[in-house]
């Protein structure tokens, strides 16, 4: 499964893959594989990405079409 939304969220936030990887405390190559769909995103990383982008995990996973900010 390709997670296009995490790439879109990253680009919309003007962040690099390196910056997001550092936030997740991992190598850029590992994060890049999440974006490309080569690796599945672990739950802990999904939760951290939702926190970083102030959105729901459902939005990131494509289960919700509207990006509702989480406060």
Q: 36-65 pLDDT, tens per residue? A: 999 999 999 999 999 999 999 999 988 887
Q: How far, in Å, CA of 54 to CA of 12, rounded?
A: 12
In this prediction, residue 67 carries a pLDDT of 72
- Percent of the chain scored above 70 by pLDDT? 92
């Amino acid at each position: 499964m390709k997670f296009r939304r995490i790439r879109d969220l990253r680009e919309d936030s003007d962040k690099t893959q390196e910056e997001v990887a550092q936030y997740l405390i991992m190598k850029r190559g590992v994060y890049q594989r999440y974006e490309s769909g080569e690796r599945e995103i672990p739950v802990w990383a999904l939760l951290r990405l939702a926190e970083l982008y102030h959105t729901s995990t459902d939005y990131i996973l494509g289960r919700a079409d509207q990006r509702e900010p989480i406060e």
